[in-house]
């Protein structure tokens, strides 16, 4: 087996048995990045020297039998997560020179468990987008076919895992940005329950929707990484005070009882969504049969407010974004325009030059929708719809353990195809937005391929804090369909 093919679990085994050093593994991945990332553009920053120093330290620990969950394992991070001493750009010009003074909680947790930070990955600017075409720096291509988008906004992280530049990565998901790129790149993506993972040190897009989660080569690795990053944090007042189970037990649950006794809800509204690709439908129907064979009972359910999800999300998210992004004013962080002579002009020029077109669009929409006289009609109304969406899911989970659905209405589209048509782009988020609106967890797992060879995933969503059911069902599905060993030839 080649080094780059190793999963987290595979790498750990080799490192523990001293068949491999972390320096060798990290160097092999850095060489692979150097060789292939020009054509993929998964990374914004790779700090070779820092990664190799961390790997050397990990090897010393291993030699002293000091072994933690991720000792010596290279992980990539979406460039929206603050990393002490490493540039954190959010793929924006406005943070072009921003080097955080501290690590975000998840980054700290990864470091404490021994992980090597191999690099910072590309994204849509401030995570606003579905294709990674809104990055101020470059496009990321889909490693399966470079004419296509990798999905977004965590397109760099998904492409990095798919291209086997790292053992695993972290992404963030505000409306699908972990699950959708994972689906388009043929890897596993898990958005945890809102509050499961601390957001401290994650640059906020829409604070009531954002969650950090793993993008991995297989389901077990998602469980391993979720174990490391979960837990209450006093630095994030929205982080939940709930126990963190050992998520890898979900694999044992499957081995013991298959998926017998579980019920999957199939939302009847989802398959009548306009523009759903027949190839996505086919993969979804095949997935249903696999679950049935594994002992899952399939049940039609209703999520009656599905039609309103996109509209409500695209009010709430820009409203929160317009408030969060007010802090980037040229005074406190990052880029400042120095050509102006007064403060107001400096604000204007800094923001106009520092933010890209999609970010500016959302700030304007959000500011408008929150302004006096419009608040009730837009933000207030959208929040009411959000409550109805939450209730749809609470009702659904009375009669099923998880909701099964496609991840996106179509496989990855061509670079440039939708970038000038924001509305069409927004509509592709129809199946993923609800989990964020309802605060529930969702997972995307490779399930098949389109006729052009691009991967297609399926999504499962479960009740709040029940990631265990997703991992159990996901693991069973993956074991049956066995797409977890399939990666693109670069």
Query: Can you give the binding site for ligand GLN, defined by CB under 6 A?
Result: 127-130, 153, 173-177, 205, 317, 429
CB of 225 to ligand GLN, least distance (A): 18
DSSP SS3 for 171:
strand
Find all residues with CB under 8 Å of 255, minimum gap 6, and list them.
none
What is the rounded CA–CA span in Å between residue 28 and residue 4? 7
What is the rounded CA–CA span in Å between residue 63 and residue 18? 9
CB of 222 to ligand GLN, least distance (A): 17
Query: Does 78 qualify as catalytic in the annotation?
Result: yes
- Reading the block at residue 123, the tokens are 């994204």
CB of 91 to ligand GLN, least distance (A): 11
CB of 10 to ligand GLN, least distance (A): 29
If one counts every other C-beta atom within 10 angstroms of the C-beta of residue 486, the result is 12
Residue from 219, 179, 213 nearest 193 by CA = 213
Of the residues 153, 162, 405, 462, which is catalytic?
153
Nearer to ligand GLN, 9 or 358 (CB): 358
CB of 426 to ligand GLN, least distance (A): 7
Find all residues with CB under 8 Å of 316, minimum gap 6, and list them.
206, 208, 209, 379, 382, 383, 386, 437
Nearer to ligand GLN, 175 or 442 (CB): 175
CB of 87 to ligand GLN, least distance (A): 20
What is the rounded CA–CA span in Å between residue 233 and residue 83? 17
Rounded to 5 degrees, φ, ψ at 77 are -125, 135
Nearer to ligand GLN, 54 or 429 (CB): 429
Name the DSSP letter for residue 449.
E
Nearer to ligand GLN, 77 or 296 (CB): 77
Nearer to ligand GLN, 33 or 82 (CB): 82
Angle at 27 between CA 21 and CA 30, to 5 degrees: 145
Residue from 250, 307, 284, 150 nearest 462 by CA = 250
**Residues 76 and 118 sit within 8 Å (Cβ to Cβ):** yes
Find all residues with CB under 8 Å of 121, minimum gap 6, and list them.
42, 43, 44, 76, 77, 78, 79, 154, 156, 157, 159, 160, 169
- Reading the block at residue 485, the tokens are 């060993």
**Residues 207 and 324 sit within 8 Å (Cβ to Cβ):** yes
Rounded to 5 degrees, φ, ψ at 447 are -135, -10
Nearer to ligand GLN, 20 or 127 (CB): 127
Of the residues 177, 405, 434, 469, which is catalytic?
177
For 270-341, strand residue ranges (E) read 297-301
Nearer to ligand GLN, 250 or 280 (CB): 280
Nearer to ligand GLN, 296 or 359 (CB): 359
What is the rounded CA–CA span in Å between residue 442 and residue 435? 6
CB of 158 to ligand GLN, least distance (A): 12
CB of 131 to ligand GLN, least distance (A): 9
CB of 175 to ligand GLN, least distance (A): 3
Of the residues 78, 111, 217, 220, which is catalytic?
78
- Reading the block at residue 130, the tokens are 């579905």
Nearer to ligand GLN, 459 or 484 (CB): 459
What is the rounded CA–CA span in Å between residue 312 and residue 436? 12
* Residues with catalytic function: 78, 153, 177
């Amino acid at each position: 087996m080649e080094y780059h093919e190793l999963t987290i679990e595979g790498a750990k085994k080799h490192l523990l048995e001293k068949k491999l050093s972390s320096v060798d593994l990290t160097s092999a991945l850095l060489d692979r990045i150097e060789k292939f990332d020009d054509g993929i553009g998964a990374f914004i920053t790779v700090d070779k020297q820092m990664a190799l120093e961390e790997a050397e330290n990990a090897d010393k620990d291993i030699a002293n039998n000091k072994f933690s969950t991720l000792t010596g394992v290279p992980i990539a991070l979406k460039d929206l997560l603050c990393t002490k001493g490493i540039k954190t750009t959010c793929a924006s010009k406005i943070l072009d020179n921003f080097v955080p003074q501290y690590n975000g909680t998840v980054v700290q947790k990864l470091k404490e468990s021994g992980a090597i930070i191999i690099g910072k990955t590309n994204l849509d600017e401030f995570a606003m987008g579905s294709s990674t075409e809104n990055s101020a720096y470059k496009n990321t291509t889909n490693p399966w076919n470079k004419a296509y988008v990798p999905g977004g906004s965590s397109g760099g992280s998904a492409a990095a895992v798919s291209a086997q530049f790292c053992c695993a990565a972290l992404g963030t998901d505000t409306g699908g940005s972990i699950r959708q790129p994972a689906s388009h790149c043929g890897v596993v993506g898990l958005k945890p329950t809102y509050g499961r993972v601390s957001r401290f040190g994650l640059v906020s897009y829409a604070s009531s929707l954002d969650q950090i989660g793993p993008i991995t080569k297989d389901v077990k690795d998602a469980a391993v990484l979720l174990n490391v990053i979960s837990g209450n944090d006093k630095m994030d007042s929205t982080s939940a005070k709930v126990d963190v189970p050992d998520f890898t037990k979900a694999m044992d649950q499957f081995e013991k009882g298959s998926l017998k006794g579980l019920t999957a809800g199939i939302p009847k509204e989802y398959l009548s969504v306009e523009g759903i690709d027949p190839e996505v439908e086919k993969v979804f129907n095949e997935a249903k049969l696999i679950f049935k064979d594994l002992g899952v009972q399939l049940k039609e359910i209703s999520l009656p407010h599905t039609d309103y999800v996109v509209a409500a999300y695209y009010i709430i998210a820009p409203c929160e974004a317009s408030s969060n992004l007010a802090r980037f004013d040229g005074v406190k962080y990052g880029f400042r325009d120095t050509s102006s002579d007064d403060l107001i002009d400096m604000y204007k020029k800094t923001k106009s030059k520092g933010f890209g077109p999609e970010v500016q669009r959302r700030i304007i929409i959000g500011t408008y929708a929150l302004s006096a006289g419009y608040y009730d009609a837009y933000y207030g109304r959208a929040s009411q719809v959000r409550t109805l969406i939450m209730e749809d899911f609470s009702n659904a989970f009375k009669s099923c353990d998880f909701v099964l659905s496609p991840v996106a209405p179509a496989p990855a589209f061509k670079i440039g195809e939708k970038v000038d048509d924001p509305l069409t782009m927004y509509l592709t988020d129809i199946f993923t937005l609800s989990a964020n609106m309802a605060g529930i967890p969702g997972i995307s797992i490779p399930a098949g391929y389109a006729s052009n060879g691009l991967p297609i995933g399926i999504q499962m969503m479960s009740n709040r804090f029940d990631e265990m059911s997703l991992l159990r069902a996901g693991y069973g599905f993956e074991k049956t369909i066995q797409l977890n060993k399939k990666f693109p030839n670069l």
